[in-house]
Amino acid sequence: MLEHALRGDKRYWSWVIALMALIGAGVLFYLRQFNEGLGITGLGRDVTWGFYIAQFTFMVGVAASAVMVVLPYYLHNYKAFGKITILGEFVAIGSVIVCMTFIFVDMGQPFRIINVFLYPTPHSMMFWDTIALGGYLVLNIIISHITLGSERKGVAPPKWIKPVIILSIPWAISIHTVTAFLYAGLAARPFWMTAILAPRFLASAFSAGPALLILFCFILRKFTKFDAGREPIQKVAQIVTYAMAVNVFFVLMEVFTAVYSSMPEHVSHFQYLFLGIEGHGNLVPWMWVSVILGIISLILLIVPRTRQNEQILILACVMVFISLWIDKGLALIVAGFVPNPLSYVVEYVPTLPELGISAAVYAMGLLIVTGLYKIALSVRKQLG
Amino acid sequence: MSVERRKFLKLAGLAALGVAGGATGRVLAEDSPAVDTTPARASDTDSPRAPLTAKRWAMVIDVTKCREQANCNDCQAACHVTHNVPDFGNPKDEVKWIWKESFEHAFHDQENEHLPEELKNTRTPVLCNHCDNPPCVRVCPTQATWRREQDGIVMMDWHRCIGCRYCVAACPYGSRSFNWRDPRPHIKQIQTEFPTRTRGVVEKCTFCEERLVRGQLPACVTACKHGALVFGDLEDPSSDLRKLLAERFSIRRRAGLGTQPEVYYVL
Amino acid sequence: MHNGGKIIIGLVIFLVLITFPIWYNVANDRAGYSPEIEKAARGENCVRDSAWMRAYHMDLLNEWRDQVVRQGSRFESAAGGAAYEKSLSSTCLSCHENKDKFCDRCHDYLGVDPYCWDCHIVPKEVQP
């Protein structure tokens, strides 16, 4: 089946080559970072995790979101999702690989990563995160390979795949829970030390991920002959709506407990994000954009007339994705470090090499998803 | 591709993985003949000078003795020279094992507008607290940092550190520094008795364990001319440390977080 | 075999190229070449004998690393009494002073590039 990714029309190859050019540029930036050190990024003694880890956190959520189409179809026989579960699983594969790559580029000694496996450390959440992500990748590769392969052969998939698929459902929940555990157990970082962090992560994952899936479906409808169908897209849109409503509710809960308690160690991080502290506030405009986009998109999604209008739905999904990307992919990680444990305010701005490497990692993810989607669509085209 | 060729390639791929896996397994399991199976002793009786030992090393910083010396930086200078700590010349890349911090920032949970002026203007040394319940140890995915059972020192293994900086995120005291660049060019006088570190690993105070085993007190303690740093065994009731703690009121940084820090401050 | 002639010729050329290092060195009388390493500047005996060291010095260093750093056991007694520190920079290099004439000779010849030197100091390079 892999050979389908190597055949395509001019548009396909232009897109692939554009992505490869981005990847190539990123590789050059990374070589410089590998030789000189992570000092070429905007990271420093105080904000020690930044853009890379934030992208990792956001993309773990996107990876987990495949469960939102797998669960209804396999657990509840919701036939309408039949055509798009493979799309969700392929997004999961691409996202997990992107996550692992973001971790790799953030490591000070990346070639020692094998130490995590040579010296397993059950009391470290990072150890469990590598197991969870690795396992999830393997699960999705097996599931998509077997189901698409069976579809190609025109037979039902073998019986043993069903328990594997069922396993992938709690596993998807667990990857984002254990990622939240990385942050939520640190007494040193009160901004993250909240019981609601894992639920928040899941709610925003199940909004942003399926929103991205909807956008991919519309892109496929525009550029290929594949049409997911109106009913599946509308159902996923409903899922995004509920998840986004829960997510907004959770964020308001966070703001309430921090601000009402008026404990400085909790309030200060929200103050930094939304108002700025002592003139430091480079994330303030981003936060308000995220809030506005989040509210508008939620309204557009809740009102059936706007949700059912496909043009408006596309707009709403874009706004959901951007709003949640700002929240998790910019604000969450950085604000955990500002103010720092000695209550100094030191800001963070990613540098050009840092952004170049990140763009390349995303381009690699898009390339993987492009190739996998090409395979799925070609297989289905051959079936007629 | 014909079905037989697909099958052949799949088999070949699996076989290659199997061979690679087997070879890796053999290499990892191999016991080199150099393996010395006699259990190593923690405190060497082979050391040229009698090592200093303790059940739990701790430090008391007498802020009253330090506060008068506004321009004194002897503890930091001694530590940083002894351990080849680099000076990158900017706060973003800064690496520091011990440094002087204002009272307001060292103890910001003790916010108090009406503290005596002299205390407000005090600067006191801060360093790794070698906690009894260290969050940095709890999060490290490779055990590159760990708490020594024998004497409570929280140690660093710079061979094993993968530079993930999880420990930096977990430390509530900001005691840990990462090498954002190659440190060698930024070390003023390289001491040959102690290695440097490389870019990409985290470092911090190790209570001078390499000096303790040679019967020497930590560099900062020896360097302090004013006797502000008292180092000793917390579990030895006759130590100077315990006597000082019995006589004077002491506080620890962010004591409410459950880390059980072992650096005490008498004000 | 289709194109059998071309394939066989290609295979022969490949084999000749891939075995180049072997036959070229034999032809130039360099078979069995060993780089010349400088003898230690001082010291009667090394902590282990030469033949053993040649094969296993890296294993010894790894053992020392774990014993010194992870177990806190920094010193070892030689057979015959004197205690020495288990240290590359302080012990090994105190006798084998010139890394470039000792360590590097074999390492360079074999294309080995150990990164120990990123952290472990060569005293002569810092204080000539």
Nearest-neighbour CA in chain C from B191: distance (Å): 9
Question: Is residue C90 included in any domain, yes or no?
Answer: no
In a domain, B44, yes or no: no
User: What is the phi-psi region of residue A95: left when phi exceeds 0, alpha when psi lies from -120 to 50, beta otherwise?
Assistant: alpha
For residue B258, give its domain range. 57-266
Which of B156, B162, B174, B180 lies closest to B83, judged by CA?
B156
Q: What is the mean pLDDT of residues A135-152?
A: 95
Q: Would you tell me which residues 171-230 of chain A have a C-beta closer than 8 angstroms to some C-beta of chain B? A: 182, 185-189
Chain A: nearest CA to B252, how far in angstroms? Answer: 14
Q: Are the beta carbons of B143 and A126 separated by less than 8 Å?
A: no
Identity at C75, one-letter amino acid code:
F
Asked if pLDDT for residue B2 goes beyond 70, the answer is no
3-state secondary structure B167-235: HHHHCCCCCCEECCCCCHHHCCCCCCCCCCCCCCCEECCCCCHHHHCCCCCCHHHHHCCCCCEEEEECC
Q: Which pLDDT tens digit goes with each residue over C71-108?
A: 999 998 876 677 889 999 999 999 999 999 999 999 99
> How far B265 CA sits from the closest chain C CA (Å)?
28
Return the SS3 of A13. helix
- Which subunits sit against A, judged by 3+ Cβ pairs under 8 A? B
pLDDT at B45: 47
pLDDT-derived band at B95 (thresholds 50, 70, 90) equals: very high
Lowest-pLDDT range of A10-19, A305-314, B31-40, B81-90:
B31-40
**Residue A196 has what pLDDT?**
96
Answer whether C121's CB lies under 8 Å from B195's CB.
Answer: yes
pLDDT interval class at B194 (50, 70, 90): very high
- The minimum CA-CA distance between B159 and chain C, rounded to whole Å, is 8
Identity of the residue numbered A29: F
Kindly compute the dihedral angle of the four CA atoms of residues A233, A237, A239, A243, in this order, to the nearest 10 degrees.
150
- Which residues partner with B250 through β-bridges? B266
Confidence at residue A24, expressed as pLDDT on a 0 to 100 scale? 97
- Tokens encoding B35: 């393996």
To the nearest whole angstrom, how far is the Cα of C65 from the nearest Cα of chain B? 8
Residue C101 forms part of a structural domain:
no
Model pLDDT, residue A364: 98
Among all chains, which residue has been given the structure tokens 């998840």? A243
Q: Residue C18: give the domain boundaries.
A: 1-29
pLDDT tens-place string over residues A85-126 = 999 999 999 999 999 999 999 999 999 999 999 999 999 999
Per-residue pLDDT tens over the stretch A24-37:
999 999 999 999 99
For residue C17, is it within any domain? yes
Strand, helix or coil for residue B146: strand
- What is the number of domains present in chain C? 1
pLDDT bin (cut points 50, 70, 90) of residue B113 is confident
* Average pLDDT in chain A: 96
Q: How far is B246 from chain C (nearest CA, A)?
A: 31
**Token pair in block for residue B154:** 């929280």
**Tokens 């996107």, located at residue:** A62
Q: Which helix (H) or strand (E) covers residue C3, if one does?
A: none
CA C57 – CA C61 distance, rounded (Å): 6
**What's the pLDDT at C9?**
96
Is residue B83 pLDDT above 60, yes or no? yes
pLDDT category at A12 given cuts 50, 70, 90 is very high
Give the pLDDT confidence of A150-185 residue by residue, as tens digits: 999 999 999 999 999 999 999 999 999 999 999 999
Question: How many CB atoms within 10 Å of residue A192?
Answer: 21
For testing contact with chain B, the best of A115, A138, A189, A268 (most B CBs within 10 A) = A115
Structural domains in chain A, CATH included, are: 2-383 (1.20.1630.10)
Neighbours of A82 (CB within 10 A): 14
| Length reported for chain C | 128
String of DSSP letters for C56-106 = HHHHHHHHHHIIIIIH---EEEPTTS-EEE--IIIIIHHHS--TTTTHHHH
Distance of alpha carbon B214 from alpha carbon B44, whole angstroms: 9
Choice between C41 and A78, residue whose per-residue pLDDT is larger: A78
Better pLDDT: A345 or A1: A345
Taking 80 as the threshold, does the pLDDT of residue B1 lie above it?
no
pLDDT tens for each residue of B33-64:
444 433 333 334 455 578 899 999 999 999 99
In chain B, the number of structural domains is 1
Residue B42 in domain: no
Whether the Cβ atoms of residue B170 and residue A8 lie closer than 8 Å to each other? no
Token pair for B148: 């020594």
CB contact under 8 A, C77 and B46: yes
Phi, psi (deg, nearest 5) at residue B191: -90, 130
In B202-261, the residues whose Cβ lies within 8 Å of chain C are 209-210, 213
Q: What is the pLDDT of residues A63-96, one digit of tens each?
A: 999 999 999 999 999 999 999 999 999 999 999 9
Q: What is the pLDDT of residue C80?
A: 66
Q: Tell me what the mean pLDDT of segment A127-137 comes to.
A: 97
Residue B154 in contact with residue B163, Cβ under 8 Å?
no
pTM of the model: 0.91
Domain assignment present for B12: no
How much is the pLDDT for B69? 83
Cross-chain Cβ contact B159/C69 below 8 Å: yes
Angle in degrees, CA A92, A95, A97, rounded to 5:
110
Q: Which of B33, B34, B40 sits opposite C71 (nearest CB)?
A: B40
What average pLDDT does the segment A5-14 reach? 93
Residue at B231 is within a domain:
yes
Q: Does residue B1 belong to any structural domain of this protein?
A: no
Give percent of chain C above pLDDT 90: 64
Backbone angles phi, psi at B114, to 5 degrees: -105, 25
CATH code (residue B201): 3.30.70.20
Q: How many CA atoms lie within 13 A of A325 on its CB side?
A: 14
C43 phi-psi bin (left φ>0, alpha ψ -120 to 50, beta other): left
pLDDT above 50 for B164: yes
Residue of B nearest to A346 (CA): B92
Using CB atoms, pick whichever of A45, A342, A346 lies closest to residue B105. Answer: A342
Q: What is the pLDDT of residue C97?
A: 92
Please, are residues A313 and A319 in contact by the beta-carbon 8 Å criterion?
no
d(CA B19, CA B31): 20
Query: What pLDDT sits at residue B67?
Result: 86
Q: Does A266 touch chain B (CB under 8 A)?
A: no
Q: Which of B47, B193, B209 sits opposite C75 (nearest CB)?
A: B47
Contact between A113 and B166 using a beta-carbon 8 Å cutoff: no
In the stretch 20-59 of chain C, residues with CB closer than 8 A to chain B read 56, 59
Helix A125-153, helix A352-383: angle, nearest 10: 30
Q: Does C105 touch chain B (CB under 8 A)?
A: no
